[in-house]
Amino acid sequence: MKLQTESLLQNRELVPAAVYGRVEKLVDGDKVMVAAIDPAYADGQLLHEHYETPLEWELNCIVVEGRRGDNVKYAAILLPYGKRVNTGSIVRQKLDAKKVSFADLNYVIEKTGMEFGSITPVGLPEDWFILIDEEVFAQETIIIGGGLVSTKIIMSSYILKDLPNVHIMHGLAKE
pTM assigned to the model: 0.95
Predicted local confidence at residue 89, as pLDDT: 84
H-assigned helices in 27-174: 44-51, 89-95, 105-112
**Beta-bridge partners for 168:** 132
Q: By the 8 A CB rule, do 59 and 144 touch?
A: yes
Using the predicted structure, report yes or no on whether residue 1 has a pLDDT greater than 80: no
Q: CA-CA distance, 17 to 38, in Å (whole number)?
A: 21
Tell me the domain boundaries of the chain.
5-174
Mean pLDDT of the chain: 96
Q: How does pLDDT run across 81-106, given as a tens digit for each residue?
A: 999 998 888 999 999 999 999 999 99
Q: How does pLDDT run across 35-80, given as a tens digit for each residue?
A: 999 999 999 899 999 999 999 999 999 999 999 999 999 999 999 9
Beta-strand relationship, 71-80 and 129-133: parallel
Q: CA-CA distance, 123 to 120, in Å (whole number)?
A: 7
Q: What is the three-class DSSP state of 169? A: strand
Q: For the domain bounded by 5-174, which CATH number is listed?
A: 3.90.960.10
User: Which pLDDT band, with edges at 50, 70 and 90, does 175 fall under?
Assistant: confident
Q: By the 8 A CB rule, do 172 and 86 touch?
A: yes
Predicted local confidence at residue 47, as pLDDT: 96
Q: CA-CA distance, 80 to 99, in Å (whole number)?
A: 24
Sign of CA dihedral 156, 162, 163, 167: positive
Predicted local confidence at residue 67, as pLDDT: 96
